[in-house]
Amino acid sequence: MRPERVIGNLEKRFPGEIVEASKDGEDLVLVIRPEALLRIMGSLKGPPYSYKLLLDLTCVDFRRDAGAFEMVYHLYSLDANGRVRVKVRLPADAPLLDSLAGLWRNANWLEREVYDMFGVVFRGHPDLKRILMYDGFEGFPLRKDYPLRRRQPKAVKGNST
């Protein structure tokens, strides 16, 4: 489905939820409200759009400039060879969002990584714990206020856990 038609359809079905819509080359870029995430993603995944492949899910720390975290989702449609980027802005003091683990299975690990690196908490995630850093690591490394060179060595207790 062509990007313009997708935007038109979505704006009819979800009035007021889409904050911004634009195009980046052949891809569609949508900025939506956090409350509508599950509904809009669910409808993007199903027919007629069929963006069945969740390519990526990440976060950008814009707290210094815009006072918000920005979650970025990339979806891809195998049938239509179309890509869409969905962005959601979360307030800096309450980074809380619905989990997409029920819709796409790789969202499980991807959201764990965003939690590990940024501290965004996902409601409804089956098992939200750290994935790349070890348990007991303090802080969220990819936030802008975490210094690159801070050393947090892991205590060596003599057993490998």
Partner 1 sequence: MTLEPRSERNTMLLNLGPSHPAMHGTVRIMVELDGERILNSEVEIGYLHRGFEKTCENRTYFNLLPYTDRLNYVSPLINNAGYALAMEKLLGIEAPERAQYIRVLMCELSRISDHLTSVAAMGMECGAFTVFFYMMKAREYIWDVIEFTTGARMTASYIRIGGVRADLHPDYRAALEKAVRETRKVLKDVHGLLDGNKIFLDRTKGLGALTPEEAVSYGWTGPCLRSTGIRYDVRKARPYLVYDRMDFDVPLGANGDNFDRYMVRMMELDQSLRIVEQTAAAMPPRAPIAVGDRRYVEPSEAIRVSRSQRVIGPVRLSPNLEGSEKDVYRDIQAADRRWTLPPKEDAYTTMEGLIDHFLFFMKGRGIRPPKGEVYFSVEGGNGELGYYIVSDGTDRPYRLHLRAPCFHVVSALERLIKGRYVADVIPTFGSLNMIGGELDR
Partner 2 sequence: MSENYLTTKIEDALGWARKFSLFHYPFITACCGMEYMSTACAHFDLDRFGAGLTRFSPRQADLLLVVGTITMKLAPVLRTVYDQMAEPKWVVAFGTCTVSGGIYDNYAVVQGIDTIIPVDVYIPGCPPRPETVLDGFLKLQEKIRHQKQEWRCGRKE
- Burial code (b: 16+ CB inside 10 Å, e: under 16) for 75-85 equals bbbeeeebbbb
Is there binding between residue 138 and partner 2 (CB under 8 A)? no
Shortest Cβ 117–partner 2 spacing (Å): 11
Contact partner at residue 94 from partner 2, partner 1, none, CB < 5 to 8 Å by partner kind = none
Are 90 and 34 in contact by the 8 Å Cβ rule? The answer is yes
Got the DSSP string for 60-74? EEEHHHHSEEEEEEE
User: What residues make contact with partner 1 under the rule CB under 8 A?
Assistant: 24-25, 27, 52-56, 58, 60-61, 72, 74, 78, 81, 83, 85, 104-106, 108-110, 113, 117, 126-127, 129-134, 141-142, 146, 148
**Spatial distance between the Cα atoms of 51 and 122, rounded to a whole number of angstroms:** 22
Shortest Cβ 105–partner 1 spacing (Å): 5
Query: Residue from 34, 102, 119, 141 that binds partner 2 (CB under 8 A)?
Result: 141
